[in-house]
């Protein structure tokens, strides 16, 4: 009887673990842009908690991949929202890859990002679509 309880417990644990790893689609009434902004906020929090740049680059990849999937699986949005999300993804793609990233070149990376996506900004971008990648880049450079 004791071994039966042990087997039942293992089956329960295995089922719970499998359920926890399975993706469950969530359909929300929020706009796609709001969902993308939530992913950007999540990335900022993950960047602050990450212990090293390897974890930070992993977080950037994960969040940008999630944004791409969410955008692909939803209907096209208004032109303004699509332009906003396109700009956000373009700025994220301008962040050097983990292989090409060198802390000594951070000032060049930051200047390039400002010049390309926010040429009128003085010290940091004010455009909401540029800020998440800017924060990610400056966090990588610390």
Question: Each residue of 6-17: pLDDT tens digit?
Answer: 444 444 444 544
d(CA 31, CA 37): 10
The DSSP letter of residue 99 is T
Residue 122: pLDDT band (50, 70, 90) is confident
d(CA 118, CA 111): 10
Structural contact between residues 77 and 85, judged by C-beta atoms closer than 8 angstroms = yes
Tokens coding 135 = 């924060």
What pLDDT is attached to residue 123? 86
Higher pLDDT: 28 or 98? It is 98
Give the residue from 38, 31, 130 showing the smallest Cα distance to 77: 31
pTM metric for this prediction:
0.75
- Asked whether residue 61 carries a pLDDT value surpassing 80, the answer given is yes
Report, as an integer, the average pLDDT of 22-43: 75
Higher pLDDT: 108 or 29? It is 108
């Amino acid at each position: 009887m004791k071994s039966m309880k042990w087997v039942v417990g293992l089956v329960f644990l295995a089922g719970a673990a499998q359920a926890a790893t399975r993706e469950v689609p969530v359909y929300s009434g929020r706009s796609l842009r709001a969902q993308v902004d939530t992913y950007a906020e999540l990335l900022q929090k993950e960047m602050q908690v990450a212990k090293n740049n390897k974890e930070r680059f992993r977080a950037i990849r994960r969040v940008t991949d999630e944004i791409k999937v969410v955008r692909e699986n939803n209907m096209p949005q208004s032109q303004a929202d699509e332009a906003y999300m396109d700009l956000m993804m373009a700025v994220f793609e301008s962040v050097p890859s983990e292989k090409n990233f060198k802390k000594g070149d951070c000032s060049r990376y930051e200047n390039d990002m400002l010049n390309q996506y926010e040429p009128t900004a003085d010290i940091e971008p004010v455009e909401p679509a540029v800020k998440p990648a800017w924060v990610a880049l400056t966090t990588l450079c610390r």
